[in-house]
Structure formats: C-alpha cells, structure tokens
Amino acid sequence: MTFPPPGAPRARIPGPQQPPPPYPRIRAGLWRRFLGGGLAVWALTVLAAYATADTALLPTPILLGGFLLPVVLVLWAYERHGCDLGVSAVLGCFLAGGTLGVLGASVTENQLLGPSLRTFAAAGPVEEAVKLGALMFVLRRLPGIHGMRAGLVLGAAVGCGFAALEGSGQAFGAALSADGPGLRTLLETEALRGMLTPLGHGLWTAMAGGALLAHRRPNGRFRLGSGPVLAAWLGAGLLHTLWDSTHGIALWLVARLAGPYPARELFAQGYVPGPTAAQEHLLAVFTAAGLVLVCLLGIARVRSLARRGASWRNTP
C-alpha cells in the first residue's frame, strides 16, 4: 500500500448534509434593532404631528405605539426561550390573540354581561378565558407542544397580540371622538399604554398559558378543569381586574387626600369635576404607580412559575 508524498493535496470527503430547519429562523438581536428603529420612527412622526398639527399623521404613531413593544417582547421571548417552538406557532398565537381575542372579548362582554358593575368585575376573567381559548385554538393540532416554558412563551404571545390590537383600537376611538383628548394628551396616554399594557396582558396570559400547557395530556387534550389551571386563570383574571381598577382607585385616593367630593361617587363617575392642577398631577401619579405595581406582581408570578418548570432551566 503506497501513501501520497508529504504536501500532496488530499481529496476532501464531503460530510453528511444537515437538513434545513423545518421553519424559518430569526436572526439574533432582531428585537433590539426593531426596538431602536421603531422608537426612532415613532419619535419622528410625533414631532411631525406636533409641528404640523396634521391629523392624517395620527394613525402612524397610534399603530406604531400600539404594536412596537408587543412585537419586541414576542421577538425577545422567541429568541431567548422559544426557538424550538417555531415561528408559525408564535406568530399564530400573536395573531389569534389580537383578532380572535379582541373579537371574542368584545362580543362576550357586551352580549352576555351587559353594562353593569358585574361587567366591570367580570371583564378580567372573561378576557383571560377568551385569550386561553385563542391559545387552544392555535395549538389544537399541535399535540407535541406542552410544558411550562412553551405555555409561558406562547401565552405571552397571545397576550401581546391582544394588547397591541386593543390598545390601538382604544387610541383610535379616543382620537375620533368629538370631545376626545388633545394631541398631546393622546400621545402621552398612548406612550404610557404602549409601555405598560403589553407587560400586563402578556404576563397575565403567560401565567394561565403556562399552567394550561404544563398540565396538557400527552394526547394533546387540555385539562381545563384541573385545579392548577383554574387557579392560574383566576389569578390572571384578578390581576386584570386590578389593572382595570387602577384609575378608579387613583380617583378614590385623590378624593381622600385633596378633593371635597365623596370618594365613592368619584369612583363610579370615573372623573373629578373641575380638577385642580394638583389633583390632575396626583391622579396621573397614582394611576401610573398602580399600573406599575400590577406589572411587578405579574413579573414576580411569572418568574415563580418559570423556576418551577424543568424545561425552563434549559433556556438561556
């Protein structure tokens, strides 16, 4: 047997070809670029709207402000913890949460509950049940997706889709109303909702979705009647109701500290008649503080659930 002389070229034997992934990949760090570019475009459109007072520019900051942070949160969750779930599942949950979730919540609340105090108290659990229904609709033919990590990621995607569409719709409604807020107030409100609302909706549905998929049967059936799933749904609904109550609680606090009006009547009316500058400032501070507190409670709960899930420990 002869050997080639030293330095002679050797034939390269091709290695086994790796099959392409069954779903498209998202490049690492895309959420940072999306966040930076989106904030720049949003700021430019806001400045242009202030400078020109052109109402035709309002849809751009409203839609961009409503969708920017929800999309960024979903991209971050997919990149860090959900790459093996696939783009189609995450995108499907985001779209289903926005379309089916908002539609189902609106119809259910208006037709079944009616305008009353019961509607206000039940709005949170009803919306969380509808969002869970959207999650189950997307995963009905994907029995292999289960576990706490998958539930947290996909539940957050459903909640962020719901927050994006609902927040944009409410901003459009305020802009189109005859006695709606001014341009500055509208944009400030949109900025606050854009920062906090996705955290709220995303965290609440992540809590319920994590419990739902953690207790999913091997054949793909959902155990809606199990105790942990019901407890997670009720907990998410309670945080949702507390979120909706922050404005009324802030009014009650303002009335107790600085206002001459009965606190209970102000809570029911939803506004302070003829507020002073100090009352307006206190109302804004208490409302923002309440929203931040609810977000912190949701973050603490989701982190607690993540530590319990064995599959979550294998993620970055």
pLDDT at 276 (0 to 100): 65
pLDDT at 36 (0 to 100): 92
* Phi, psi torsion values for 207, nearest 5 degrees: -60, -50
- b vs e for 102-118, b when ≥16 Cβ sit within 10 Å of the residue's Cβ? bebbeebbeeeeeeeee
Better pLDDT: 56 or 42: 42
Q: Structure tokens of 107?
A: 């119809």
For residue 51, name the pLDDT band (cuts at 50, 70, 90).
Answer: confident
Average pLDDT value over all residues in the chain: 77
Q: Would you say 4 and 10 are in contact if contact means Cβ atoms under 8 Å apart?
A: yes
For residue 313, name the pLDDT band (cuts at 50, 70, 90).
Answer: low
* Phi, psi torsion values for 3, nearest 5 degrees: -110, 145
The tally of CA atoms less than 13 A away on the side-chain side of residue 122 is 15
* pLDDT of 7 over the 70 cut: no
Q: Structure tokens of 106?
A: 């609106």
* pLDDT of 261 over the 90 cut: no
CB burial of residue 232 (10 Å; 0-12, 13-18, 19+): buried
Quote the percentage of the chain above a pLDDT of 70. Answer: 71
Cα 226 from Cα 215, distance rounded (Å): 8
For residue 186, name the pLDDT band (cuts at 50, 70, 90).
Answer: low
Cα 111 from Cα 195, distance rounded (Å): 31
pLDDT at 222 (0 to 100): 92
